[in-house]
Amino acid sequence: MLLAIRLRDAMNAHDLEAFLDCFHEDYRSEQPAHPGRGFAGREQVRANWSAVFAGVPDFSATLLGHCQDGDREWSEWRWTGTRAGAGDLDVAGVVVLGVRDGRVAWGRLYMEPVSGEEEGIDAAVRTMTGEGPGDG
C-alpha cells in the first residue's frame, strides 16, 4: 500500500500512533517555500500532529491524487477542519516523500493555506513581476 494512503487513513482516524508508524526515527522534513520550518526526527512529527489533532478536532485529509516512482511518492492533498477559536482550516498542496523500508525517510511539503480572497490571474502576474497590484 502506498504511504500516502496509510497517511490519509491515519490522519482521518486521528490515530497518532498509526501516523507515526509511517515515519522513520530519522525522518527529515523541509518546506522549500518556508525554509525555517524544516526539522528532523519523528518526535517533532509527534508534537506537530498531536497539536493538529487536538486543535482541529474535525481535521480531515483528502488525498486528491498520488503516484510512486521507485523510492519516491508524490501526493496532492486538501486538509480541512475547524480550528479551536480560529475559524476554518483549509490547506492544499503537494507532498513529495522519500521512502525507505516502507516508511517515510524524508518529505518536502508544498502545502499552503487556501486564500479566502479571490485574486485574479492578472493581479497575481503583476505581483509576480514586481508591478504590484493595480500598477501598470
pLDDT digits (tens, 9 = 90+) for 30-71: 999 999 999 999 999 999 999 999 999 999 999 999 999 999
Rg value, the chain, Cα:
17
Provide the number of structural domains found in the chain: 1
Q: pLDDT class for 127, splitting at 50, 70, 90?
A: confident
Q: Which residues contact 62 (CB under 8 A, 6 or more apart)?
A: 8, 77, 78, 79, 80
Predicted TM-score (pTM) of the model is 0.88
Enclosing domain of residue 72: 3-129
For residue 21, what is the domain's CATH number? 3.10.450.50
Q: pLDDT class for 135, splitting at 50, 70, 90?
A: very low
Confidence (pLDDT) at 115: 83
In-domain check, residue 52: yes
User: Which grid cell sits at 23?
Assistant: 515515519
In-domain check, residue 101: yes
